[in-house]
Amino acid sequence: MYITKKKGKLALTLEGKNAAAGYFFILPFMIGFLAFMFFPILESLRMVFSEVTIDTVKHGFSMKFTGFANLNRVFFVDPEFNRLLTEEVGRMLLIVPAIIIFSLFIALILNQEFMARGLMRAVFFLPVILSSGVMIGLETNNSLLSSMAEIIQRGNSMKSSITGVLEDILVTEGAGSDFMGYIFDIVNQVYDIAMASGIQIIIFLSALQTIPPSMFEAAKMEGATGWECFWKITFPMVSSLILVNVVYSVVDYFIRTDNRVMEKINRIFMQRMEYGFSTAMAWIYFLAVIVIIGLAGTLISRKVYYYE
C-alpha cells in the first residue's frame, strides 16, 4: 500500500515515499528516452518488415513493405546468424556464472581489514576502464597483440599449454570429463572474466558493507564457523544483488564490441548497407537477450532473500 489515511487526509506510506523517490530518480532517463529514442525504435521496427533503400532525392530512406521476408531470411536463409547466436548464448552461460563467483570471492577478500585495501580495490576496478570499447578496439586492431593471440590459440589447440596437458592427464585418469572441461574453459578465459568483473565486485562489496557486524559476532558466540557464517549470513544478505549482477553481466556480455553477433550485424549494416536485413537480426538478438534476462530473473528471484 502506497497511500494511507492520516487524520482524515491521504498521505504516502514509507513504501510510497520510496517508490516516489525511485520514479523521480529515473525521470531524466524516461524523458530522454521518450524524446530521443522512442521514435527511432519505432522506425527501426518498421525496417524489420520493409525493404529499405537510400532515397537520393529526398536524402533519406524509402521503405517498401515486404512482410516477414527479412525474418525468414534471418532464420532460414542466412547460414551464420543462428549458429553465431547459439554459440554466443553458450559462451554467456559459461562466463556469467564464473563472473558472479569470481566477483563475490574478490569482494569477500577486499572486505577484509588489511594494508593498502583502497589500492587493491582500485586495482580490481581498473579492468572496467581497460575493458571499455576503445581499449578493446585497440587490442583487436593491434597487429602485435593479434599475432600473440594467434600463437596462444595455436598452442592451446596443440595441447601444449599447462591446462591442455593437465586436462589430458585428468581425463586419462578417469576424472569427470564434462565437469573438468567446464573448469578448464573457465581457466582459459580467466582474462575475460577478470576484465568483466569490476562493477560486480563493487556491487557485492557495497552489499557486504551493509551487513551488521553484530550478526557475525552473535553467530561466533554461538559457535558458528566461518563457513557457516558465509552460508547462513553473508550469502542470504547479498543474494538480492546476485540478481542485479546477473542481469548486468548478461547485458554487458551481449553488448561487447567483440561479440560475433554484433560484429555480423554491424558488417551487414555498415558495409553491405542491407538495413532491413540487419535491423531484423538486431531485433531478434534483442528479443533473445530479453528472454534470457527474463528467465534468469524468474529463476533467481525465487531464491532471493529480502530483509528489512
- Segment 135-174, tens digit of pLDDT: 555 555 555 555 555 555 555 554 445 456 556 655 555 5
Rounded distance, CA 246 to CA 263, Å?
24
Name which of 274, 256, 253 is nearest 140 in CA terms.
256
Report which residue type is found at 125: F
Q: Where do the H-state alpha helices sit in the chain?
A: 14-32, 38-48, 69-72, 81-110, 117-130, 133-141, 143-157, 162-172, 177-188, 190-195, 198-209, 213-221, 226-229, 235-254, 260-270, 275-301
Name which of 161, 207, 168 is nearest 187 in CA terms.
161
Contact assessment for residue 37 and residue 29, using Cβ atoms and an 8 Å cutoff: no
Res. 31 pLDDT band, cuts 50 70 90 = very high
Res. 227 pLDDT band, cuts 50 70 90 = confident
Res. 288 pLDDT band, cuts 50 70 90 = very high
Per-residue model confidence as pLDDT tens digits over 49-79 = 888 887 766 667 778 888 888 899 889 888 8
In this predicted structure, what is the pLDDT of residue 171? 57
Q: What are phi and psi of 162, to 5 degrees?
A: -65, -45
Contact assessment for residue 93 and residue 182, using Cβ atoms and an 8 Å cutoff: no
**DSSP bridge pairs for 222:** none
Domain-wise residue ranges, the chain: 1-41, 80-301
In this predicted structure, what is the pLDDT of residue 142? 52
Contact assessment for residue 3 and residue 16, using Cβ atoms and an 8 Å cutoff: yes
Give the pLDDT mean for 257-270. 85
In this predicted structure, what is the pLDDT of residue 160? 47
**Which has more pLDDT, 269 or 136?**
269
Rounded distance, CA 110 to CA 134, Å?
28
Give the pLDDT mean for 231-256. 88
In this predicted structure, what is the pLDDT of residue 67? 86
Give the containing element (helix H, strand E) for 159: none
What distance, in Å, lies between the first and last C-alpha atoms of the chain? 16
Q: How many CA atoms lie within 13 A of 110 on its CB side?
A: 25
pLDDT of 270 higher than 90: no
In this predicted structure, what is the pLDDT of residue 304? 75
Q: How many CA atoms lie within 13 A of 72 on its CB side?
A: 6
pTM of the model: 0.74
Rounded distance, CA 206 to CA 67, Å?
49
As a whole number, the mean pLDDT across the chain is: 79
Share of the chain above pLDDT 70, in %: 77
The C-alpha angle 304, 301, 189, rounded to 5 degrees, equals 90
**Which has more pLDDT, 56 or 10?**
10
Rounded distance, CA 131 to CA 253, Å?
11
Rounded distance, CA 247 to CA 250, Å?
5
Rounded distance, CA 274 to CA 13, Å?
53
In this predicted structure, what is the pLDDT of residue 159? 47
Per-residue model confidence as pLDDT tens digits over 190-223 = 777 877 888 888 889 888 888 888 888 888 888 8
Give the containing element (helix H, strand E) for 55: strand 50-55
Report which residue type is found at 239: S
Cell 534471418 -> residue: 74
Task: Assign domain 80-301 to its CATH superfamily.
Answer: MetI-like (1.10.3720.10)
Rounded distance, CA 275 to CA 118, Å?
48
